[in-house]
Amino acid sequence: MKKTTLLLVFMFAVLCSATAKDTSNPILRFDANGKFKIIQFTDIHFKYNSYRSDSVLIMMKAAVEAEKPELVVLTGDVVCSENTKKAWLALTKIFVDAKVPWAVTLGNHDIEYELTGDEIMDIITELSYCVAKNGPEDVSGSGNYILKVQGSKTKNAEALLYFIDSHSGLDEEKGLGSYDWIKFDQVQWYREQSKKLTGANGGKPYPALAFFHIPLPEYNEVWGQPTTVGVKEEKVCSPDINTGMYSASLESGDVMGMFVGHDHVNNYIGTLHNIALVYGQATGRETYGDIGKGYRVIDLYEGERKFDTWIRIKYKANRDEDLWEPTHINEKQNFVNYPDSFIEN
């Protein structure tokens, strides 16, 4: 081979590996204004080849285009469908096409179809711009992982995002409640990782958020507080068994807010001892829910223990009234700033 041909081959290989690296391992960083915007879609319950699901893809695509987030997070009950793999590919194509990094935690309904949690994670983690990981093998669940958000001007981590698998439903006849719980080894893993990261940050806990599907029992405690914002139209469907994820976070001192889905007609946010307990706005149109469908936005501030969050409701409650055109209720709803909105006068 001629030297010039060799050089060309070499340059092509370098170019290919650089491109592959960009799409398979995108870097999360604060933007030039020191903000990091996340869109949380939850409970999409996407079905392959269904007009209601397809209409939601239109809304999600428009949301990504309009909000220009640094990251999209799907907090469980993403795909509830036969042709499970095809459905995941159809849905996540939005993020691949938009070249936006996306992360996932699985919900109780995700694993009721053709694929196990591990199989789903193995498929999606191969896709472009996916930043989800299938987590340490020796920790319970599929998809326990941590993402670091780099500073706008440095490669140092400035914030952390924890993703934890909250598992599935339980056989109620066993008398242990309707839902499984975050296992103690997951809580232990979180504690160890958090401690290690805080140590690496000179003993100062990073500003962090946590994402999972099923709300913790503590979500009951913030409802009805004077500073809690949003609606609660069903009971908090949390596990009966409390394995201490909340108290572990309180002691570790890094998590500012926990973001879940699961209960489609709850979208409130309140704080318990300085940790915000937050529901997303349910997104999908295949299942129950009469408070409209949309998404939550979270805007993190670089170098501060601070974030803004609000919801946008894009579809009315009646699923057939505005089937293809979202109703464009465009204002930010239920806007709060953490921690300022939760300091009582």
Residue closer to Zn ion by CB (options 128, 281) is 281
- Per-residue burial over 38-72, b if 16 or more Cβ lie within 10 Å, else e, is bbbbbbbbbbbeeebbbbbeebbeebbeebebbbb
Number of Cβ atoms within 10 Å of the Cβ of 278: 30
Residue closer to Zn ion by CB (options 118, 234) is 234
Choices 25-33, 41-49, 173-181, 270-278; region in contact with Zn ion by CB under 5 A: 41-49
β-strand partners of 259: 211, 278
CB 91 within 8 A of CB 78: yes
Residue 132 tokens read as 């989800």
CA angle 84, 89, 91 (to 5 degrees): 95
State which of residues 36, 47, 77, 120 lies at the interface with Zn ion (CB under 5 A): 77
Minimum Å gap between C-beta 279 and Zn ion is: 12
Q: For residues 236 and 214, give the distance between their C-alpha atoms in angstroms, rounded to a whole number.
A: 9
Choices 53-61, 77-85, 165-173, 234-242; region in contact with Zn ion by CB under 5 A: 77-85
> Quick check: 286 binds Zn ion (CB under 5 A)?
no
Number of Cβ atoms within 10 Å of the Cβ of 241: 14
Residue closer to Zn ion by CB (options 77, 158) is 77
Residue closer to Zn ion by CB (options 43, 308) is 43
Residue closer to Zn ion by CB (options 14, 317) is 317
> Quick check: 180 binds Zn ion (CB under 5 A)?
no
CB 75 within 8 A of CB 107: yes
Residue closer to Zn ion by CB (options 179, 246) is 179
> Quick check: 263 binds Zn ion (CB under 5 A)?
no
> Quick check: 158 binds Zn ion (CB under 5 A)?
no
> Quick check: 218 binds Zn ion (CB under 5 A)?
no
Residue closer to Zn ion by CB (options 128, 283) is 283
> Quick check: 43 binds Zn ion (CB under 5 A)?
yes
Q: Are strands 255-260 and 275-279 parallel, antiparallel or unpaired?
A: parallel
CA angle 88, 90, 94 (to 5 degrees): 105
Choices 73-81, 188-196, 239-247, 271-279; region in contact with Zn ion by CB under 5 A: 73-81
Closest residue (Cβ) to Zn ion?
Answer: 77
Minimum Å gap between C-beta 280 and Zn ion is: 10
The residues that touch Zn ion, with contacts defined as CB under 5 A, are 43, 77
